[in-house]
Amino acid sequence: MMNSVPTQADERQRKAVALISGGLDSLLAARVMLEQGIHVEGINFFTGFCVEGHTHAIRKKDRAKPKRNNALWVAEQLGIKLHIVDVIEEYKSVLLNPSHGYGANMNPCLDCKGFMVHKALDWIREHNFDFIITGEVMGQRPMSQRKDTMPVVARESGAGDLLLRPLCAQHLPPTLPEREGWVDRDKLLDFSGRSRKPQMALAAEYGFEDYATPAGGCCFLTDANYSRKLVDMWQARGNREYELDDIMLLKVGRHVRPSPRFKLIIAREEGEVKFLQGYAYRYPTLKVTSHSGPIALLDGTPTQDDVQLAARIVARFSKGRNADQVTVDLHLPGDDQAQQLVVTPMPPEQISESWYI
Partner 1 sequence: MANFQLDARRLLCPMPVIRTQDRVAELRTGDELTITCTDPGAAQDIPAWCRLNGHTVLSIEHDGDELMITVQVGTES
The residue ranges that bind partner 1 (CB under 8 A) are: 44, 46, 50, 52-54, 56-58, 63, 66-69, 71-73, 75-76, 80-86, 244, 248, 274, 278
- Sorted by sequence, the CB contacts under 8 Å of residue 21 that are 6+ apart come out as 44, 70, 71, 135, 218
Sign of CA dihedral 168, 173, 177, 180: positive
Is residue 80 a contact point for ligand SF4 (CB under 6 A)?
A: no
- Residue 229: CB minimum distance to ligand SF4, A: 16
CA distances to 57, 161, 244, 311, 319 from 293, in Å: 21, 58, 27, 12, 6
- Residue 10: CB minimum distance to ligand SF4, A: 35
- Residue 85: CB minimum distance to ligand SF4, A: 13
- Residue 22: CB minimum distance to partner 1, A: 10
CA atoms within 13 A on the CB side of 161: 14
- Residue 21: CB minimum distance to ligand SF4, A: 7
- DSSP states along 215-231: SS-SBGGG-HHHHHHHH
Q: Which does 66 bind (CB under 5 to 8 A by kind): ligand SF4, partner 1, none?
A: partner 1
Measured from the CB atom, the residue of 222 and 285 that comes closer to ligand SF4 is: 222
x/- contact string, 144-163, with ligand SF4 (CB under 6 A)? x-------------------
Is residue 22 a contact point for ligand SF4 (CB under 6 A)?
A: no
Residues 130 and 177: beta-carbon distance below 8 Å: yes
Helix, strand, coil percentages, rounded to 5, for the chain: 40, 15, 45
> Among 16, 30, 109, 249, which residue sits at the site for ligand SF4 (rule: CB under 6 A)?
109
- DSSP states along 248-278: HHTTSSEEEEEETTEEEEE--SHHHHHHHHT
- Read off the amino acid at residue 58: I
Measured from the CB atom, the residue of 39 and 100 that comes closer to partner 1 is: 39
Is residue 26 a contact point for ligand SF4 (CB under 6 A)?
A: no
| CB-neighbour burial class of residue 118 (10 A; exposed 0-12, middle 13-18, buried 19+) | middle
- Residue 217: CB minimum distance to ligand SF4, A: 3
> Among 14, 113, 165, 251, which residue sits at the site for ligand SF4 (rule: CB under 6 A)?
113
Report helix, strand or coil for 343. strand
Q: Which does 218 bind (CB under 5 to 8 A by kind): ligand SF4, partner 1, none?
A: ligand SF4
Q: Which does 198 bind (CB under 5 to 8 A by kind): partner 1, ligand SF4, none?
A: none
Is residue 221 a contact point for ligand SF4 (CB under 6 A)?
A: yes
Measured from the CB atom, the residue of 222 and 327 that comes closer to ligand SF4 is: 222
Measured from the CB atom, the residue of 61 and 67 that comes closer to partner 1 is: 67
| CB-neighbour burial class of residue 241 (10 A; exposed 0-12, middle 13-18, buried 19+) | exposed
CA distances to 43, 156, 202, 248 from 114, in Å: 15, 6, 27, 24
List contacts with ligand SF4 (CB under 6 A).
107-109, 112-113, 144, 217-219, 221-222
